[in-house]
Structure 1
Amino acid sequence: MLFRKGRESNNIEDRRGAGGFGGGRSIGVGTIILALVAMYFGIDPSVVLDTASITQPPAAESARPAAPRSAAEDELARFTSMVLADTEDTWGPIFSAGGKQYRDPSMVLYTGATRSACGVGQSEMGPFYCPADQKVYLDLSFFTELQQRFGAPGDFAQAYVIAHEVGHHVQNLLGISEKVQQARERVSEREGNLLSVRVELQADCLAGVWAHHADRSRQVLEAGDVEEALGAATAIGDDRLQKQTQGQVVPDSFTHGSSEQRVRWFRTGLEKGTLKACDTFSVARL
């Protein structure tokens, strides 16, 4: 990407090395598996984090000695700040054009574990957005996992992760998240899973909308960037992860969408560049 020297966001909360819950509190294996099946991206904290909080007693927060930060990690933190700033520069004008006001989310960088308004976030869960405090939570070690475990390297793959979580923030501001949560309470588990898939695919599409406008306005994309994002979308499809973790694919249990669906909806946002194009709730075929 071409904004390595772009502006950085003022909405970064850096908690790296500021203490955590190491040794005192941990999530169970079942929660970790659930988080993996949920594909690390766009986790609904009310499902995963709150469940962990209910099933395990809280432990006292204990200080953790700050680990030395490498120059590479600090450079990655600056990059994530620039990506967040670019999403601010994109979504602000889009909301204004629609007669709405965009409220910037904050991004919390942490190490290992941290508290959020949705419960305790742990690095094993991957990045997530908490609608209760309007913050994106990210342990930078996830990007190593993205490259080494999921085979999705590249700075635009990383930007796609952030843009997807910001997509959940857009859904929250538009009232979509609340409506979907209310609808989930009235339907079966299978139907609830389908609603979750529609939410996540819309967030993928919204990530594409960001990339569309960022490139048109600021020419940020380089050769190979789109392929990096599509590689990440493919790597974390429900079908791909279920095959890896349980040896079989169970479509009725999908919560984020197949690799093909995630790629297609990101492409839709990238090519169309409009909120209307990302209406995953009114289409018959996802």
Structure 2
Amino acid sequence: MGHRTGGYAMDWRGRRTSRNVEDRRGMRMTGGRGLGIGATVAILLIGAFLGVDVTPFLNGTGSVTTAPAPTGPNRIDDDQEAFVATILAETEQAWGEIFTASRLEYREPSLVLFSGGTTSACGMADAAMGPFYCPGDRKVYLDMDFFRVMEQQLQAGGDFANAYVIAHEIGHHVQNELGTLGEVNTRRQRVGQAESNALSVRIELQADCYAGVWAHAASGRLRVTDDDIRQALATAARIGDDALQRAAGGRVVPDSFTHGTSDQRQRWFFQGYRSGDPNQCDTFGAGRL
């Protein structure tokens, strides 16, 4: 597979970049006196990783000025955008090849970069929501400040950790393309909260596994090292539902989990990475997560 040991040396610079990035950055939060940065960050982290809309907690901290969709072709303007566009291009190549091998067509998603807030087919997108995939318009939404928060508050930073986050969201697009996402979301509407949460966990763990499949496919091209993989696994551990509930100072409530425990997220990412086979990512048929 061509990966090496030693150092965080994922080599992403100078590679092909995707044409499917929409840059809507430049808008800002305005108005209101605001919470302190520590309190705001803590609230955003809870919402981002536990699947909770925390915007009511931010009332009075600033209104979101939204950026409209750009009308012209996108340009790569800075290092942040170059990184995102490169990782997106790598997901396009990996999943395009996987779908073609199964005689399927992979329709490439778009990735929207924004700051503060913007609009999506799933409603308002703002920083409190964290990165997310909207099946309504087949787009991933990402505020780059999320990576800074992830590094400073969770000590879960680095290029490969950030790539893992993007690949996870693209995993949801893969689920959408295969019909899994729509089917499971329909089931979730028909069951109680605890069962709905359990289905959400299986969706999220499958997206983690798909992120691992991508890492397997891209490891040679990006010169992924063993340390890069450890970086992704450490990130998965820090964003497990149990770890985040402990970090928030509360008790661990398994019935409220929506993304999976630290151990589960690590295990499914590594299963995808080790096998490189999306068929090994059947979290819905697994007796043990």
Q: TM-score range by the shorter chain?
A: 0.7 to 0.9
2:178 aligned partner? 174
Structure 2 distance, partners of 1:63, 1:23, is 16
Could you say which residue in structure 1 is the equivalent of 2:18?
9
Out of 226, 237, 240, the residue aligned to residue 240 of structure 2 is 237
What residue in structure 2 maps to residue 225 of structure 1?
A: 228
* Superposed structure 1 runs of 4+ greater than 6 Å apart: 32-35
User: What's the C-alpha RMSD, in Å, of the aligned pairs?
Assistant: 2.6
Asked if structure 2 preserves the Cα contact closer than 8 Å seen for 1:21 and 1:114, the reply is no
Distance in 2 between the 1:125 and 1:89 partners?
A: 28
Uncovered stretches (5+) of structure 2, i.e. residues with no partner: 1-9, 35-40, 57-62, 69-76
Q: Give the whole-Å Cα distance in 2 for the aligned partners of 1:237 and 1:60.
A: 29
Q: Does 1:279 align with 2:282?
A: yes
> Percentage identity across aligned positions?
51
For residues 163-212 of structure 1, the C-alpha deviation after alignment (integer angstroms, 9 at most, x for no partner) is 00000000000000110011112211111100000000000000000000
Q: C-alpha distance in 1, partners of 2:67/2:14?
A: 35
Unaligned runs of 5+ in 1: 27-31, 53-58, 65-72
Q: 2:6 — aligned with what?
A: none
Find the residue that maps to 1:195 and give its secondary structure: helix
Structure 1 Cα separation of the partners of residues 66 and 108 of structure 2? 31
Distance 1:189 1:9, change over 3 A: same
Aligned to 2:71: none
> Per-residue CA shift, 1:15-64, capped at 9, x if unaligned?
111x366449x9xxxxx9886445438x5xxx749x97xxxxxx895789
Structure 2 counterparts to residues 1-286 of structure 1, below 5 A: 1-17=10-26, 19=27, 22-23=30-31, 36-37=45-46, 39-40=48-49, 43=51, 48=53, 74-216=78-220, 218-286=221-289
Query: What is the one-letter code of the residue matched to 1:13?
Result: E
Letter in 1 for 2:18: S
Paired with 2:183 and 2:45, the residues of 1 have a C-alpha distance of 26
Distance 1:35 1:182, change over 3 A: farther
SS in 2 for 1:77: helix
TM-score (norm 2): 0.83
Relative to structure 1, is the Cα distance of residues 114 and 280 closer, same or farther in structure 2, using a 3 angstrom cutoff? same
CA distance in 1, matches of 2:30, 2:276: 42
How many residue pairs get matched? 260
Partner SS for 1:83:
helix
Superposition TM-score, scaled by structure 1 size: 0.84
Distance, in Å, in 2 between the alignment partners of 1:197 and 1:38 is 16
Give the 3-state SS of the residue equivalent to 1:3 in structure 2: coil
Report the CA distance shift for 1:201/1:78 in structure 2 as closer, same or farther (over 3 A): same
Once the 2 structures are TM-superposed, how far is the Cα of residue 222 of structure 1 from its aligned partner?
2.7
Compared with structure 1, are the counterparts of its residues 144 and 185 closer, same or farther at alpha carbon in structure 2 (3 Å cutoff)? Answer: same
Distance in 1, Cα, partners of 2:154 & 2:253: 20
